[in-house]
Structures are given as C-alpha cells and as structure tokens.
Structure 1
Amino acid sequence: MLDRNGFKRKRYSDLIEDMTLKAKELFGEDINVTERSFLGILIRLFAWFLAILWEVAEKVYNSGYMHKAEGIQLDRKGWEFGITRLQEAHAQGTIEIRGAPGFVVEEGTMFETESGILFELIEEVTLDENGVGTGDVVCTEPGAKGNVATNTITIVSNPNENIISVTNPEPVTGGRERETDAEFVERYQQTLSGLGSSTTDSIRSELLKLSGVRAAVVIENNQSVPDEAGRPPKSVSTYILGGDPDEIAQVIFSKKAAGIEAYGTEQVEVFDMAGFPHTIGFSRATEVPISIQLTIQKNDRFPAEGVQQVKTELIKYIGGEDADGTFYVGLNMGETVVFSKLINQVYKVDGVDDVHLVVGVKGQTPGTSNVTMDITEVAQITHEDIEVQVT
C-alpha cells in the first residue's frame, strides 16, 4: 500500500492471508481453504501472480529515488544531475621496443604479458639509430585486467626478427570495470555535495566524474602566508589518484575561483575561452607500500590454492597488483588500513581455523595496530609483499 509513510509491498504470505480472510467472509468461516483444497490452491495461484505485480509496483516506486533505483533506472536518475555511470575502460600505457635500427613497427602490432594479456600498438613506431623506440599500447580487453605492473609486457605476439625485445618501463593503468550501482550512488552523493563552482567540494566532485580518477582531495590555504605543508597563500592544492593530466587540469581551471593559484608538483598548461594560457598545478597521491606477514592454521577444507586466495583477498581490501597482473582499487586516499578488517579478509577463504597477522609500512617494523595514512597518501600492496605460512 502507498500512504504518507511511503510504499509497503504486500508479500506472497500477506496476499494468501488477505485472500483467505476474504474467502471466509464471503463463503463462511467453515469453508475449506487449506493448501490442498481447490479454493486453497486457487488462492495460492492468484497470490503468486499478484506478488509479482506488487514487486513490480515496488520497483517502479523505488526507481524515483537515487538510493533505491537499480540498473538503467539509476542511470536515468543520474542524468537528471548531469552524472553518468562510468563504463568499462581499456588500460593504456607505453612500451619500449628494441630491435634493428630504422625498422618500422606497424600500428596494430600485438604484444602480451606472460599471463596472456594482450596489448595493441596504437601508433607506428620507428626505431632510432640505436634500435630503440617507444609507443603507446592499449589492452585489447576492457577492465582492470589490463592494469599490469612495470616490465610485464615482454612478449611479441607474432615474433619478428627485427624486434629483439619489448617491455613497459612504467605500469599500464586506466583499465576499470563498469561502475556498479553501489559505486555510482556513492559518487553521486559525493558529487551532490560539490554542486556549483569556486569551492573545494565542487572541484573534488567534478574530478571524481573523470574516467580513471580513483580519488581526489582538495586542500585550500586561505591565509596570507604559506601553511605548514609549504602550500602558498591563497591557493588550492589538489591531490589525485589516477586520471589524465590534461583532463584534471581543465577541471581544476574551470572550477577554481579566479585569482587563486592552483598549486602542485605537476604543471599543465590550459587555455581559456579567449585563448590565453594558464598554468594549472596539481599533485599525485603518495602511494605507501604495505607489507603483511601472517601464519594460518588450516583444516581439511583449506584449498590447494588457498595461500594465493588469501593474498588476493588482502589485496582486494588494501588495493594493488595481484600475481596475475590484476589491479584492485582497494582503499582510497587518507583511509586507514584497519587491522581487524585484514583478519576478516583472511577468514573469507574456506578452511582457515586461526590467523596470526602483523602489518606495517614496507621497510618498517610490522605490528598489530592500524596503519594510518595522511590525507594525501594511499595504501598499496602487491602479492610479493604478503608472506604466508601455513601450519
């Protein structure tokens, strides 16, 4: 029913009860409405179909609310506020090719990792007099699968005598899965807080709309002197995790107040509507490497690949690269690595009876306390930094 308190769906059991009471009102209290009687079967048959209609009515009602809508209905609610769901994206990066001097590596040449993740060269590359050339590649499959670590693209898919070796000197990034309903709603809530311009919230919310941006923090110094971190007076400092530099700079320029300096370690030139150049600064988030050591007491249900499953669960929570090259987003900037949540992640793997775990910043003495991050830092971990002993 729908009243001032909202919509409340009648369930299958509610419909049977209502229809049973109505049958007794019409035919008498002694009418047989048991589940094996003709009338009882008929009541349950109608109740089953009516329950489906009530469910549809509930979904129609919920589709009008951002926090309850699902799927395409959620997308359409987002459109009302100029927010669209982030679609799956292909990872992109740069490779270094070595071979015969002057050889032209054609656009579309395929390269891959040892685990079989394919990348396509998106531009023609001519090797210089030293037999070295660089070019951009894109993963042939969308999603986080294409986010691979440094020096993992090492195979020429179709070997060529003029190509000696290939590698990627930097990680390949930018690949992501299609944004889930929960992620879309969370970004919508963050964006709503920043409608308008010339505020830190408006800059951050607009940056979060960009593809590839995992997190953003905007800090302003409205004093007439530098702050304790060295940020200049009357400035905004933006710290970004992921994203394209040119797109980031353009958003900051369009949202910041006139006369306020956009300060940061990276400098990008953008142009206003009149064609005049402006230098926009922002900084990348500091990635803090985490290490974990744990001892697991297992039982007979612990799978053969259980150690790797444990590592994967921990990486999913913190964020970083797994053994197969998959990159997980994990924690955002400024979020603490919570010790008790690490324990919970380990227990997600079947067959774990007991866990002893220590955690800390890589290179420092680990312990059993939470690992806190500064607002401009983000925790990251790899499978190599997780030591597991099983007893």
Structure 2
Amino acid sequence: MALTTIAPTVTKNGASAATYDEILEWLKTKYRAIYGEDVYLEADSLDGQFLGVLALEFTNVGAACVQVYNSFNPKTALSDALTRNVKINGIQRALATYSTVDLLITGTPGTAIRNGVAGDASGNKWILPTLITIPSEGTITVTATAVNAGALLAQVNTVTTIVTPTRGWMSVTNPNSSSMGQDVESDSKLRQRQALSTSISSMSQTEGLRGAILDLENVTRCKTFENDENVADENGLPSHSLCVIVSGGDSQEIAQLIASKKSMGCALYGNTEVTVINSYGDAKTVSFYRPDIKQISYHVNLTSNTSYSADTADIIAESLATYTNSLDIGDKITQNKLIGVTNLYGAEQSQTYEVDSISIIVGGSTVTGDYILPFGCVAFCDASGIAIEVING
C-alpha cells in the first residue's frame, strides 16, 4: 500500500518511521506527479540519484525521531539517555574504577619513596601512595592503584618490578592477588540494576536487599541465595540461612545494609565477616560472600580466506575477554554464545573466516562442552592468554 506521508508517526503502538525503500518510492511518485509519468528516475539517472540522497536523509531523520521516542523508556534508551532515565530511580551509572593491590615493600629503614611505581609480569603499572617511608622493621605494606581503569588481575607474587628505582628500595611483591576494578557500567547491566532498584522497598526483603547493594558505589555484581530447608543445601548453605555474594563495594557499607534489611532470625553465610554497630550501640558480626576468581581462557580454531588479516585474531580475543569478564556470579559459559561472540557479527572482519571449534580452558585444564562457574565464583579472562589457531582455507 502506498504511503500517504513519510513523516514519522506516534500511535498507541509506539513510534514508527518509513523505510528507505518506502520513502524513495514515495518521492518518485510525487516527482512523477509534477513532471510526468515518463520521467526516468532509476539509480543511474541524475534525478534518481538526487531522490536517493533525499530518501537516505529522510530515513535518518525518521530513525532519529524513533530513537528520541524510545529514549524515554529505560528498556529501550541508550547510553546518555539511559543514564538520565535511571536518575528517577535514585541511581546512576557506575563509572570505571581502578584495580588495587596490596604491596609488601622492603628496603632500608627511613627510605622515602616518592611517587613510586611498581610493575607486574603482564606489563601493568601500579601507582604507590605519593610518599612512603620505610619503617625501622625494613618492610611496609601499602595499597597500590592500577594506572588504567578496569579489571586488571595480578596473581600472587607477580608485582615484583620496581619501575621507579629509588635508593634504599630493595624489593616489592604482592602477597595476595589484586582486587579488580570495573569498566564503565554497560547499558545492559544498568537496565538490570534499574529494574532491581524498583524492588528495594518491595515485599521481598531479599530482592530489596539485592537492589540496595547493587546501588552502592563500586558494586559490580550481587547475587543472593536462600536456604529455607531444615538441612544444608547443595551449595553448603546451612539451614534457614541467607548468602549474599557481592563483588566490589565497601565492606562496611555492604554489611550495614545486610544487617538492616535481612529477615529476623535468618542466619548469614559467607567467607567474609564484618563487625557493625546496630542502632542500639551493640556490635554485630555480619557475614557475606566475596566471590572467588576463576581464570578462563580459550583455544580457538579458525579457517581463514584471502581477506583475513593478522589483527583479526586480536579483535576476536578482546571480544571473548570482554564477554567473559561481563558474566555474572555463577554464570554458564556456553559454546553457542562463544561462537556468536567469536564470529564478530556486524564487523567487517566477520566475513574473512569461519569458526571451526572453541575449547574452554579453566585453570589450565580444557573443559569439554559448556562450563558452569562454581558457586560463588566470577570469571576473569585475559585477552593475551587466548590462543587462536588459523588454518588457511
């Protein structure tokens, strides 16, 4: 059916706009009505090309109008529009945070280290506090911050390089692995948190607790598990207990929220204990769970064609690492989704190869098929550790 107008419309079903082909046909109809039916308007004519330019711009305008309409809904809004929308729920998009690591500094007592920098085995740099003075014991533990924002993993005893040599500073190491930061919160994560934020004052105390914790600064993931039975469950939760698993955030703030929102008489289960003071001035121990990190890698086999370029492997590795690091606590890594991520759908490079197989590697061991993260675990993947084997087709 011929269009009566090419202007975007808003109806009870939402906003809609005409397609490029519909607009071009409408313009041709109007043009012929003015200059005659015998006018030639195909793509190889000057007039036809001019109408094509107009149709393309009208299409872009229509798409922009629909996007503006959709930007008022958190479910369809993108980037800045979504950031503005969620403010009505009293939340905001989480900004990128920096990974931190505790460093054991050894040196001559009295040595002053100014603007010190340490490096790890992966080439990442960690900035020490502005001024450190080594005490009489000859050692001091300080917290260093990564130069770059995002999730950077430094395994135990891998931060051992003194990047800024200082007389009297002898060695550096990290007795524990780093606490990973996060990238800027994605639209999908923010939509999920916006939906949960509406549950903060709901009838379900557990959902309300989770929504409130996710709204805390630097909290990147949160899951809750309840055991209503009279015996321990398969995850090891004692009977009638609640386990709150939280990645990121301040421990004191998390513990205060749990203490104020958990059900009366409900036991708490976790690997971290924090003492808080209740409204009556009494000390109370709150337990919650800090997730363990599972190192994930992949071995990818590709068949390439003549258009394949060497940097495509780096793009694939970054795509797989980004996908893996965005997984939630206890998520399932499926072959189906991995193939979709590896194929780089929509990218120009996706036409230059075929994915033959993907192997999931956990802690150095190859997993057959899909892999489910154990209870209380989150995945971390370093793109540089992904092996991509290419066979010329």
Class of the TM-score when normalised by the shorter of the 2 chains: 0.7 to 0.9
> What residue in structure 1 maps to residue 3 of structure 2?
none
- CA–CA separation in structure 1 for the residues paired with 2:55 and 2:303: 51
TM-score if structure 2 supplies the norm length? 0.77
- CA–CA separation in structure 2 for the residues paired with 1:3 and 1:342: 39
> What residue in structure 2 maps to residue 335 of structure 1?
331
> What residue in structure 2 maps to residue 92 of structure 1?
100
* Cα distance, 1:14–1:129 mapped onto 2, change above 3 Å: same
Provide the secondary structure at the position in 1 that maps to 2:126. strand
- Where do residues 189-204 of structure 1 align in structure 2 (5 Å cutoff)? 189-192=195-198, 195-196=201-202, 199-204=205-210
- CA–CA separation in structure 1 for the residues paired with 2:288 and 2:309: 46
- CA–CA separation in structure 1 for the residues paired with 2:210 and 2:10: 39
> What residue in structure 2 maps to residue 161 of structure 1?
167
* Cα distance, 1:170–1:299 mapped onto 2, change above 3 Å: farther
The percent identity for this pair of structures is 26
* Cα distance, 1:302–1:64 mapped onto 2, change above 3 Å: closer
* Cα distance, 1:346–1:45 mapped onto 2, change above 3 Å: closer
Contact 1:265–1:282 (Cα < 8 Å) also in 2: yes
Contact 1:197–1:257 (Cα < 8 Å) also in 2: no
* Cα distance, 1:173–1:376 mapped onto 2, change above 3 Å: closer
Q: Kindly indicate whether residue 126 of structure 2 is the aligned counterpart of residue 119 of structure 1.
A: yes
> What residue in structure 2 maps to residue 270 of structure 1?
276
* Cα distance, 1:241–1:143 mapped onto 2, change above 3 Å: closer
Offset, 1:133:
0.8
Contact 1:234–1:260 (Cα < 8 Å) also in 2: yes
Contact 1:153–1:168 (Cα < 8 Å) also in 2: yes
Offset, 1:85:
0.7
Amino acid paired to 1:254: S
Q: Kindly indicate whether residue 168 of structure 2 is the aligned counterpart of residue 172 of structure 1.
A: no
Amino acid paired to 1:187: R
Equivalent position to 2:212, from 206, 209, 212: 206
**Which stretch of the first structure deviates more once superposed, 91-100 or 266-275?**
266-275
Amino acid paired to 1:2: V
Amino acid paired to 2:228: N
Structure 1: gaps of 5 or more residues: 319-328
Q: Kindly indicate whether residue 365 of structure 2 is the aligned counterpart of residue 369 of structure 1.
A: no
Provide the secondary structure at the position in 1 that maps to 2:82. helix
Amino acid paired to 1:103: T
Offset, 1:285:
2.6
**CA RMSD, Structure 1 to Structure 2 (Å):** 3.9
* Cα distance, 1:294–1:43 mapped onto 2, change above 3 Å: closer
Offset, 1:256:
1.8
> Which string of whole-angstrom CA distances, capped at 9 and with x for unpartnered residues, describes residues 341-377 of structure 1?
455666669876674665565487x453323344433
Q: Kindly indicate whether residue 133 of structure 2 is the aligned counterpart of residue 137 of structure 1.
A: no
> What residue in structure 2 maps to residue 241 of structure 1?
247
> What residue in structure 2 maps to residue 65 of structure 1?
73
> What residue in structure 1 maps to residue 226 of structure 2?
220
> Which string of whole-angstrom CA distances, capped at 9 and with x for unpartnered residues, describes residues 90-135 of structure 1?
22221111110233434x3333335553322226444344411111
* Cα distance, 1:52–1:119 mapped onto 2, change above 3 Å: same
Offset, 1:68:
1.6
Contact 1:111–1:157 (Cα < 8 Å) also in 2: yes
Equivalent position to 2:14, from 6, 14, 20: 6
* Cα distance, 1:275–1:363 mapped onto 2, change above 3 Å: same
- CA–CA separation in structure 1 for the residues paired with 2:140 and 2:171: 11
- CA–CA separation in structure 2 for the residues paired with 1:47 and 1:387: 46
> Which string of whole-angstrom CA distances, capped at 9 and with x for unpartnered residues, describes residues 214-264 of structure 1?
432212233566556554444321123343322321232233234433332
* Cα distance, 1:288–1:184 mapped onto 2, change above 3 Å: same
- CA–CA separation in structure 2 for the residues paired with 1:300 and 1:33: 41
TM-score if structure 1 supplies the norm length? 0.77
Contact 1:110–1:118 (Cα < 8 Å) also in 2: yes
Contact 2:318–2:383 (Cα < 8 Å) also in 1: yes
- CA–CA separation in structure 1 for the residues paired with 2:127 and 2:36: 76
Amino acid paired to 1:30: E
- CA–CA separation in structure 2 for the residues paired with 1:251 and 1:231: 20
* Cα distance, 1:30–1:168 mapped onto 2, change above 3 Å: same
Provide the secondary structure at the position in 1 that maps to 2:189. helix
Amino acid paired to 2:99: A
- Where do residues 26-65 of structure 1 align in structure 2 (5 Å cutoff)? 27=34, 29-30=36-37, 32=39, 34=41, 36=45, 47=55, 50-65=58-73
* Cα distance, 1:306–1:59 mapped onto 2, change above 3 Å: closer
* Cα distance, 1:216–1:163 mapped onto 2, change above 3 Å: same
